[in-house]
Amino acid sequence: MEELLNPRVKAIQISGIRRFFNKVADYPEAMSLTIGQPDFPTPEHIKEAAKRAIDQNYTSYTHNAGMMELRQAIQQFVEKKYQLHYDAASEIIATTGASEAIDITLRTLLEPGDEVLLPGPVYPGYEPVIHMCQAHPVHIDTTETEFKLTVDGIKQAITDKTKCLILPYPSNPTGMVLTPTELEAMATYLKDQNIFIISDEIYSELTYGTKHTSIATFDGMREKTIVINGLSKSHAMTGWRMGFLLAPEAIAPHLLKVHQYNVTCVSSITQYAALEALTNGIDDAAVMREAYQKRLDYAYGRLLEMGLPTTKPGGAFYLFPSIEKFGMPSNTFSEALLASEKLAVVPGDAFSSYGDSYIRLSYAYSEEILEEGLNRLERFISKL
């Protein structure tokens, strides 16, 4: 019966991130620096809020877009943090993680034959959805611009088939951020283009030395931008699956229809936990951010000492060192590293062909694990 399956689904490959994470099971002594998941537990007060919701039998369906109290908390959170102004009743949807927000946004916007612009290298979660919509991803090479999308790059890639641009900053896998000046230049060009912007801002609370700025705050951008965010990274809530999207009133009802038929609503218990996170835990990310910056400084310094060229990130919790000088594909390098030193990293080609001269390391791990992992990497490259 397999031949009857949707060929677009059959063509999808498991994420390179997960593939190497899963390989660790085959090596009992292996360490992993693969997964972008906070090593902090969910804050206690958030867990207690979820327990209270269970004890009080708040276990029913909610409004499809999420409880109004939660949507109001999201509205206040993004206003305070990022100067984004969206109406809780008509422009905010709580989603099952940022992943569902990406899925329903692309399925709402795309038609067969459309083109989607996105940076290369880039998080691999967009491309499969684009293909399932019978649309086409168009990667813009950012390896010569410090992994930042530029106006020139967009101008060269945009066509009359372009439906939207994905702007995923802070970036997975590179950790790059766009400055307000860079965003303003981009907004000046994009406001006159008849395309949508999907601004994936899931790492917005994890920036170092600067505050996050959303492109939706610039003149002419709000009406064409869908902002995606969530609590997985900011509040160490990956397993809770709590995301949200912000969209102008003319677009949000159509996103809500796809969301409704997809999941009905986010788990009610997760919503109560999220309400606590966004109110009493509004600054919970500060302690984690401080720890990540310390880990970043250590790991970045180690990579430079090893002679691995690395652009220093401004956010998220990833490093993307170049392995070009070793003259081997990233998958070959990563396979050999795992076999030789029992260290798993993510080959850069998991993030498009533009990443094939790089590997991704996550520093969302304890200092002890980071130190040992980097020791193993150093031993490995010393033999090449």
DSSP string, 49-109: HHHHHHHTT--S---TT--HHHHHHHHHHHHHHH-----TTTSEEEEEHHHHHHHHHHHHH
Averaged pLDDT for residues 359-375: 97
Q: Assign 22 a pLDDT band (cuts: 50, 70, 90).
A: confident
Give the pLDDT score at 84.
Answer: 98
Q: Assign 169 a pLDDT band (cuts: 50, 70, 90).
A: very high
SS3 295: helix
pLDDT one-digit tens code per residue, 100-153:
999 999 999 999 999 999 999 999 999 999 999 999 999 999 999 999 999 999
Averaged pLDDT for residues 57-75: 98
Give the pLDDT score at 314.
Answer: 98
> What does the alpha-carbon distance between residue 354 and residue 121 come to, in Å, rounded to a whole number?
5
Given a cut of 80, is residue 21 above it in pLDDT? no
Residues with Cβ < 8 Å from 283, sequence gap 6 or more?
none
Give the pLDDT score at 15.
Answer: 72
Given a cut of 90, is residue 381 above it in pLDDT? yes
Give the pLDDT score at 9.
Answer: 81
Q: Assign 33 a pLDDT band (cuts: 50, 70, 90).
A: very high
Where is pLDDT greater, at 116 or 4? 116
Give the pLDDT score at 250.
Answer: 97
Find out whether 322 and 311 touch, Cβ atoms under 8 Å. Answer: no
Give the pLDDT score at 2.
Answer: 82
Domains of the chain: 2-42+285-382 (3.90.1150.10), 60-279 (3.40.640.10)
Where is pLDDT greater, at 35 or 308? 308
Q: What distances in angstroms separate CA 254 from CA 35, 58, 89, 224, 267, one per listed residue?
A: 33, 28, 14, 14, 21
Give the pLDDT score at 11.
Answer: 82
Averaged pLDDT for residues 298-308: 98
Residue 141 in tokens: 């090479």
pTM: 0.96
